[in-house]
Structure 1
Amino acid sequence: MSVDNDRGELRFKHDLEPQEMLRVIFDYAAKIANERRLDNLLMLMADMGREMVVSDRCTVWLLDRQKDEIYSTVAHGVPPLRLPSMAGLVGHAIQSGQPIFIENAYTNLEFQEVLQSGAIAVDKQTGYRTKALMVIPFRNNQGEIMGAYQAVNKLTRDEVFSGRDLEHLTLAAAYAGKSLESALLTAEIEETQKEIIFTMGAIGESRSKETGNHVKRVAEYSYILALGLGMSTDQAELLKIVSPMHDIGKVAIPDDVLKKPGKLTEEEFAIMQTHTTIGYQLLKNSNRSLLQAAAIVAHQHHEKWNGRGYPSGLRGEDIHIFSRITAIADVFDALGSERVYKKAWELDRILDLLREERGQHFDPQLVDVFMQQLPAILAIREHYADIMPEETAS
């Protein structure tokens, strides 16, 4: 229901006609099939359930078996929550495997104790009035319960869910189980890829005795710079994932070059430069978009805006934007960190260098964005500061 602005009266909704129900199902099925992000998928499912049963709120709950919890990451009108797996009506439905159907939360006797500690207690805090409730467990392809749909408050005139609503939400729950199983598997694969990529990047850095949090800081700096440049969140996230791989080619550089405390000779520097092509060769043949992006960053992060970088002497926008961003993030962090061959630079000296190299080493627009985002970058540097050996000794 909604409020009529002219008269201040409540305006109720009506149950969907068959053709309206089909439109909702087909519309959301198409959106869900094309959605890869788990949070977005869960919100689409919540929206679909809400429209199908004409409810005020709908939440998709998931069961975390490892932590023995139920959780929602997105919901209508409530923040993300994590609760013990047996908590509330959702926990009861998941444990029993049976749907719960309540016409009035304040007069229901069967679940009064659960309601008093759950929905009714929340009502007292928020001023929201819970009346009708439905909770429908859903299962994966193996028949295991993996979560539940919860609908709150019917928006039609009688304000009570019907047996037909139960059927419709059960249909949505069955579809949710199949779709979520696939999405969760994809998310798990992607998280594994991210972890492997980050670990490989850290291995490349550790061989040259780089600071322990260098790859973390470069990743976070790159993310902030990408957003500051106007890139999408998805693209910024992709860069954040792959930027730790920029020096992976160092795994093949000999120790006497990689760990030399003094200045490199021309021959030694030529050997060091090969880490860009080595990293590229390691990654380039993958069909995964993550590793393809990582290959580009590994190959081009030492190119310069003026064309005097290596290994290919690329110039300006011929250098991939991911590599241009990683370059300035890497240099900023490297100069501000202790290395085997140098002391850390003071912040003002680093910023002066970035300004001097604007349009020379670095993309001029990126230098401007870097200066704009400096407070956030410094906050990251402080958060992921390295603990020096003398600090740990104390």
Structure 2
Amino acid sequence: MEHERFDLEPLPRRDLDPQELLRVIFDYAAKIASARILEHVLLLMADMGRDMIVSDRCTVWLLDVNKNELWSKVAHGLDEIRIPKTAGLVGYAVTHDKAVFIDDAYTNEEYQPYLLNGALLTDQQTGYRTKALMVIPFRNNQGEIIGAYQAINKMTATEQFSAKDMEYLTLAASYAGKSLESALLTNEIEETQKEIIFTIGEIGECRSKETGNHVKRVAEYSYVLALGLGLSHEEAALLKMASPMHDIGKMAIPDAILMKPGKLTEEEFNRIQNHTVIGYHLLKASKRPILQSAATVAYEHHEKWNGTGYPRGLRGEEIHIFGRITAIADVFDALGSERVYKKAWELDRILELFKAERGEHFDPAVVDVFFHKLPDILQIRDTYVDTHGEKPSLKTKKRRH
């Protein structure tokens, strides 16, 4: 006889004892200190606040002064969201420099206009039931408000936040303000580096009559493939920033060779191949991780899994994983794009080539991930169309350089 099944409500959780709270703080502090990417710092901070006060959701909002908006990528289960600086409860807390504490969003009268413009409107869209709410502004080292913590729904039996919870979240907010200022500065430096790298990469591509969107697409393809292969978000982001420099060595190749519409002579082909060595020597002296990775990508993205590539004839895993990933990203985009010396290939023809070159030109694992991630790859291709406004039609033989 089958047992009758009952769906039971999950048991309520309890507040942390002091020892558990300290463990949460120390664990997250260590993770936050080692995180380099702003999105990850925000996510860790949101998780820390949520775990400290045993809430269902916690969001870290940042103030974008230039756009007069509040934004977050850390609303659990949601993508980046942006709201006007004065919108909703978090907007009220930031503009009035006031912590907000609500037991039940649907019966509260004091903040009802802000709730209708924020949490309750979101409930209507998502079906989520907001009850208890806390919002705590936080500041940078100069005392300026730069964002706020927002916690939703207490997960203990009381279903209400306490004065102790507000004390804990205020502590988390104080730490967040100090840590985020450093992360924001690091992020600004890395964004500047990325912009410079993309610009230099575009210069190399423009000299060979390719578009700047080629380097953007290769960067995005590489990021997707890296994550699909199990690389960390930090490694994938590093490759994404470095890969636009893969053909930087072309800046030293004469225009007569780069722009030649006909078949290259053996001497010309050897000159073209040398762009890998030139690019490597241009970048290798830097101590910056981005440029070190870019040097590796420039040097090895024309190596082949079977050892017949150039410039060193590396084989298999002798080729750095960044080189193996960029190789397939670069070839996919090169074949699917029209160049001065060739027409674009159709997508089916490219896919057949990749199947044939699995284990020959390309790392089999990277090829497998490529096919698994093909919908994402094609979406990137269509997002970053060529500058003349036409999508790569994905059609004659590719000149292999």
Aligned mates of 1:357, 1:112 — CA distance in 2: 62
1:64 aligns with 2:64: yes
Q: Secondary structure, in 3 states, of the residue corresponding to 2:286?
A: coil
Q: Which residue of 2 aligns with 1:342?
A: 342
Alpha carbons of structure 1 residues 78 and 303: separation in structure 2 relative to 1, 3 Å = closer
- Please give the per-residue CA displacement for 1:302-341, whole angstroms capped at 9, x wherever unaligned: 2233433322232332222222232233233323333223
The equivalent residue for 1:297 is 297
Cα displacement (A) at 1:117: 3.7
What is the aligned partner in structure 1 of residue 239 from structure 2? 239
Matched, 1:150 2:126: no
2:88/2:116 contact within 8 Å kept: no
Matched, 1:165 2:157: no
1:7 deviation in Å?
11
Relative to structure 1, is the Cα distance of residues 390 and 364 closer, same or farther in structure 2, using a 3 angstrom cutoff? closer
Structure 2 counterparts to residues 170-209 of structure 1, below 5 A: 170-209=170-209
Residue 204 of structure 1: CA displacement?
Answer: 0.5
Partner of 1:272: 272
- Counterpart amino acid of residue 178 in structure 2: K
What is aligned with 1:27? 27
Aligned partners of 1:38 and 1:390: how far apart in 2?
34
Counterpart residue number, 2:397:
none
Q: Which residue of 2 aligns with 1:258?
A: 258
TM-score under structure 2 normalisation?
0.83
- Contact residue 211 and residue 339 of structure 1 kept, 8 A: no
- The number of equivalent residue pairs is 387
Range that drifts further, 10-19 or 203-212? 10-19
Q: What letter is aligned with 2:49? A: G
Letter in 1 for 2:295: A
> 2:71, 2:83 within 8 Å by CA — same for their partners in 1?
yes
Q: Which moved more, 1:59-68 or 1:225-234?
A: 225-234
Task: Supply the distance in 2 between the matched residues of 1:130 and 1:380 (Cα, whole angstroms).
Answer: 36
For 2:210, the equivalent position in structure 1 comes to 210
User: Which of these two proteins has the greater Rg computed from alpha carbons?
Assistant: 1
Unaligned runs of 5+ in 1: none
- Secondary structure of the residue aligned to 1:32 is helix
- Higher mean alpha-carbon deviation, 271-280 vs 76-85, is at 76-85
Partner in structure 1 of residue 394 of structure 2? none
Instruction: Map residues 1-394 of structure 1 onto 2, 5 A cutoff.
Output: 13-76=13-76, 80-123=80-123, 128-156=128-156, 158-347=158-347, 349-351=349-351, 353-355=353-355, 357-367=357-367, 369-370=369-370, 373-374=373-374, 376-386=376-386, 388=388
Question: How big is the shift at 1:141?
Answer: 0.7
Q: Letter of the 1:279 partner, please give it.
A: G
| 8 A contact 1:101–1:133 mirrored in 2 | yes
TM-score (norm 1): 0.84
3-state secondary structure, aligned to 1:213: helix
3-state SS, counterpart of residue 314 of structure 2? coil
* TM-fit CA distance, 1:92: 1.4
State the distance in 2 between where 1:185 and 1:321 align: 30
Alpha carbons of 1:255 and 1:162: their partners in 2 closer, same or farther (altered >3 Å)? same
> Aligned equivalents of 2:141 and 2:169: distance in 1?
18
Displacement of 1:175 in angstroms is 0.7
- Looking at structure 1, the residues matched to 380 and 76 of structure 2 have their Cα atoms a distance apart, in angstroms, of 33
Q: What is the CA distance between 1:371 and its match in structure 2?
A: 5.0
Aligned CA-pair RMSD? 3.3
Paired letter, 2:65 = R
- The answer for unaligned runs of 5 or more in structure 2 is 392-401
Structure 1 pair 6–67 and aligned structure 2 pair: CA distance change class (3 A): same
- How much identity, in percent, do the aligned residues show? 70
Distance 1:273 1:172, change over 3 A: same
Deviation at 1:153, TM superposition (A): 3.6
1:211–1:64 CA distance, 2 compared to 1 (3 A): closer
After superposition, give the CA deviation of every residue in 1:222-253 in whole Å (9 maximum; x if it has no partner).
Answer: 33444454444443343333222111011112
Contact 2:87/2:117 (CA < 8 Å) preserved in 1? no
Contact 1:86–1:95 (CA under 8 A) maintained in structure 2: yes
